[in-house]
Amino acid sequence: MVAASVGGMEFRIDSGVLTDAVAWAARVLPARSPMPVLGGLLLEAADGRLRVSGLDHEASARVEVEADTDVEGRALVLGRRLLDICKVLPRGRTGLAVEGARLSVTSGDARFGLSLLPLDDYPAPPGLPEVRGLVDGDAFAAAVGQVAVAAGRDDSLPVLTGIRLALDGTTMTLAATDRYRYAVRTLEWKPEADAPAPQDADVVVPARRLSEIARSLAGTGPARLALDGGSIGFESAGLRTTTRLLDGRLPRHDKLFALGEHALATTDLAPLTEAVKRVAVVAEGDSPVQLTFTPTALHLQAGYEDDVASQRLPAAFTGTGADPDTLTVAFNPGYLLDALTALDTPKVHFHLLGPGQRALLTDGPSAAHRHLLMSVKPLV
């Protein structure tokens, strides 16, 4: 059953570099699979480089790092077992070599042996889809993190567990909703200059996968974005990954975000976030956090009867309607904190229709990041 690596294999590498590479590729390995080889990681050593690849039916990951290659070759081993070994290796130079039907791993006085999996049964990894352009890794990671908090967790509604990624000219729009809140973030990207056709697109990517990818791209510089009808891929600084798209479309946010005439309130983000955390300790179950705005202040309150908490903060408020000088709204504290902690701005701007209606939180006049919440019944 065991097929040894092609031509043998032997290389040396720093244990930390090896651990990071194995961890990156192992993140796509399925927890369970009818095909045991899909639990494997493919190691390929050649030309002073080590390539580590993993895949399942939904995603693939590949990373290339520097290594001292003594004997070029390929080997397939259980990925999670190799990762467990890497995590306990002594720091320093580590040697890996195929010895018969096993892969030996030696670091300092520690030595491990892993059985090889059959290479002939391992599926060919998918190629990168059509490259559409470039996006900055740091900006993309931040943007995905800001909208992912609003993605659904209910697998019975798969499309709501995704993040919409839309390309329109040089603007990328990321959006997510679980039907109770809706987060949208826009950022710039750079389409391929010599593309034969416009690079506009509108797809839904699994939020968990896209979040993992985005975190890995942070600090890597420009990343190539690749896309076709069924999958999306990214490549940057030796990392390459693909994942299948979700079927369906998210509900459009355009009309939801068009509030018409509304009240506007502004306050400092960090103090508000801390205040919500503070008063929410008495908000049990479905109990909301109430925000009462006046022209110069914001009063927070939570709890009922004897268990109550409150705090006052400076704020600016411009109201509308019959009572333009005060407005009280209330929110689920968890949803409100998710929205506040996702913002990256000194001040938060509340666009308010009134109690029990939609409320839009933005990062300022540009509104590159918008987070829609439904307010709930205020405290009695």
The edge-to-edge listing of strands for the beta sheet with 222-227 is 73-78, 40-46, 49-55, 59-66, 239-244, 231-236, 222-227, 131-136, 190-191
For residue 33, pLDDT over 80 is answered with no
Alpha-carbon distance 189 to 136, whole Å? Answer: 7
For residue 18, pLDDT over 90 is answered with yes
Position 195 confidence tier, pLDDT thresholds 50, 70, 90: low
Task: Supply the pLDDT for residue 4.
Answer: 40
- Domain covering 131-244 in this structure, CATH number: 3.10.150.10
Position 193 confidence tier, pLDDT thresholds 50, 70, 90: confident
Fold adopted by 10-121: DNA Polymerase III; Chain A, domain 2 (3.10.150)
For 259-374, CATH number out of 3.40.50.1370, 3.10.150.10, 3.30.420.480, 3.30.70.1230 equals 3.10.150.10
Other CB atoms within 10 Å distance of the CB of residue 223: 27
For residue 348, pLDDT over 90 is answered with yes
Evaluate whether 10-121 and 259-374 have a shared fold: yes
Position 8 confidence tier, pLDDT thresholds 50, 70, 90: confident
Domain boundary assignment for the chain:
10-121, 131-244, 259-374
Least confident of 67-71, 122-126, 194-198: 194-198
What are 217-246's pLDDT values in tens digits? 999 999 999 999 899 999 999 999 999 999
What are 275-333's pLDDT values in tens digits? 999 999 998 877 999 999 999 999 999 988 788 999 999 999 999 876 789 999 999 99
Distances (CA, A) of 214 to 2, 142, 217, 256: 36, 8, 5, 27
Position 197 confidence tier, pLDDT thresholds 50, 70, 90: low
Helix (H), strand (E), coil (C) string for the chain: CCCCCCCCCEEEEEHHHHHHHHHHHHCCCCCCCCCHHHHEEEEEEECCEEEEEEECCCEEEEEEEECEEEECEEEEEEHHHHHHHHHCCCCCEEEEEEECCEEEEEECCEEEEEEECCHHHCCCCCCCCCEEEEEEHHHHHHHHHHHHCCCCCCCCCHHHHEEEEEEECCEEEEEEECCCEEEEEEEECEECCCCCCCCCEEEEEEHHHHHHHHHHHCCCCEEEEEECCCEEEEEECCEEEEEECECCCCCCCHHHHCCCCCEEEEEEHHHHHHHHHHHHHHCCCCCCEEEEECCCEEEEEEEECCEEEEEEEECEEECCCCCCCCEEEEECHHHHHHHHHHCCCCEEEEEECCCCCEEEEECCCCCCEEEEEECECCCC
Distances (CA, A) of 277 to 138, 270, 280, 293, 341: 28, 11, 5, 18, 11
